């Protein structure tokens, strides 16, 4: 069965941090969007509230692990393309309880691939992470040909899903593309991630936890730049290709935290510098020392490059959290927030 090429775009996980930015951008560009989201602990309808009344927007609450639900969604909405971002994504949670990561990221992707194959979509864009490549030394960057070397339950589950997508493309001729991104930041990021943890702990006068010595290096990508890149891959990327999407903003966790503290000193001054709250805590098991992405292929073939510098992106992000207190305060009772995770406890 072949879907009409002008059918809507099915986006999975559209009430999450990165995905909601893609939903908002796609609608702004006049695309019809079906947002399929299970509304787990990290999802919130508030992230898409601004577009909920858009006539091009449809929300479906449902889980990609449910084949019958997927069958219903494809039969009712007849999507032409799929942009798959729904995933369990927090490394610390995967260390303490890996089962949901395998169930969602591996089996959920499998069920979605089967539904897309059965209903003849014209494009399936699977969104992954740079963590599937493992870790780097002081030099070098991940490219699209870097061998996979996942080192956490989360990254292993994403690597497995990447392999499934490629296998379905080769074996069943499913029209697939894949992208792997670096660390995202920006508005609506769930408060268990590093940057919102730093901001919110600082505002509350609580210790700002830094794992180990804070020397782990990450490549930071502003979420709106990532949304632009994902739509570029979706619309222009040749089938069967993969693309690395990076911000070209490498920084250690400690230096990143200090920069956020300086911004808070400026925007919400207090008697002592916020950096006084920095506290070093036990490191995460198997913490990768460095990630860095080479986005040359994105630049050269699709004409995309990041537009927001790290300094500007951090300023926007800190300001957003200061101006949207009601949003993050409403999430504080959710499971795991404010509790140290990732020390290897049993699920």
Residue 241 among the catalytic residues: no
Determine the Cα–Cα distance for residues 162 and 184; give it in Å rounded to an integer. Answer: 19
Q: Where are the domains of the chain?
A: 9-185+222-245
Q: Which two tokens stand for residue 306?
A: 């990041």
Fold (CATH) for 9-185+222-245? Rossmann fold (3.40.50)
**CA 153 distance to own-chain centroid:** 16
Q: What is the pLDDT, as a whole number, of residue 190?
A: 87
Question: Residue 330 has what pLDDT?
Answer: 81
Note the pLDDT of residue 341: 54
pLDDT of residue 2: 42
Q: What is the pTM of this model?
A: 0.93
Please give the structure tokens belonging to residue 53. Answer: 């009344």
Report the Cα 144 to chain-centroid distance in Å: 18
pLDDT tens-digit profile of 186-206? Answer: 999 988 889 999 999 999 999
Q: Choose the catalytic residue: 57, 154, 188, 274.
A: 154
pLDDT at 347: 37
Place of tokens 């660390």: 183
DSSP string covering 102-128: IIIIIIIHHHHHHHHHHTT-SEEEEEE
Is 224 assigned a catalytic role? no
pLDDT of residue 4: 44
Catalytic residue among 63, 88, 92, 130: 130
* CA-wise closest residue to 187 among 319, 42, 13, 37: 319
Which pLDDT score, from 0 to 100, does residue 3 have?
A: 43
The residue ranges of the chain whose pLDDT is under 50 are: 1-4, 346-347
Query: Residue 131 catalytic?
Result: yes
Residues 6+ apart with CB under 8 A from 56: 8, 27, 30, 31, 32, 33
Indicate which residue of 37, 92, 131, 225 is catalytic.
131
């Amino acid at each position: 069965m072949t879907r009409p090429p002008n059918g809507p775009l099915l986006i999975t996980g559209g009430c999450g941090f990165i995905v909601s930015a893609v939903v908002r951008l796609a609608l702004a560009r006049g695309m019809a969007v079906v947002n399929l989201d299970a509304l787990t602990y990290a999802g919130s309808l508030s992230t898409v509230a601004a577009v909920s009344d858009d006539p091009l927007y449809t929300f479906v609450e449902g889980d990609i692990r449910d084949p019958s639900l997927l069958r219903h969604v494809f039969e009712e909405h007849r999507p032409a393309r799929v942009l798959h971002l729904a995933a369990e994504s927090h490394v610390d949670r995967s260390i303490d309880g890996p089962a949901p990561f395998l169930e969602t990221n591996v089996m959920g992707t499998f069920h979605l691939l089967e539904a897309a194959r059965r209903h003849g979509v014209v494009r399936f864009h699977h969104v992954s992470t740079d963590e599937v490549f493992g870790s780097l030394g002081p030099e070098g960057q991940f490219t699209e040909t870097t061998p996979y070397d996942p080192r956490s339950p989360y990254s292993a589950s994403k690597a497995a899903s990447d392999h499934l997508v490629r296998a379905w493309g080769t074996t069943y001729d499913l029209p697939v593309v894949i992208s792997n991104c670096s660390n995202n930041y920006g508005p609506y990021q769930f408060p268990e991630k590093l940057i919102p943890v730093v901001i919110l702990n600082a505002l509350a006068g609580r210790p700002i936890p830094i794992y180990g010595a804070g020397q782990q290096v990450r490549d930071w990508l502003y979420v709106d730049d990532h949304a632009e890149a994902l739509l570029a891959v979706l619309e222009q990327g040749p089938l069967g290709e993969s693309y690395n999407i990076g911000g070209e903003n490498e920084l250690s966790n400690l230096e990143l935290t200090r920069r956020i503290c300086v911004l808070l000193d400026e925007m919400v001054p207090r008697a002592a510098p916020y950096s006084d709250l920095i506290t070093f805590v036990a490191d995460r098991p198997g913490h990768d020392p460095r990630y860095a992405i080479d986005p040359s292929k994105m630049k050269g073939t699709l004409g995309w490059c990041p537009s927001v510098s790290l300094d500007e992106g951090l300023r926007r992000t800190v300001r957003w959290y200061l101006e949207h207190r009601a949003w993050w305060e409403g999430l504080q009772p959710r499971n795991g927030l404010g509790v140290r995770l990732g020390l290897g406890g049993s699920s």
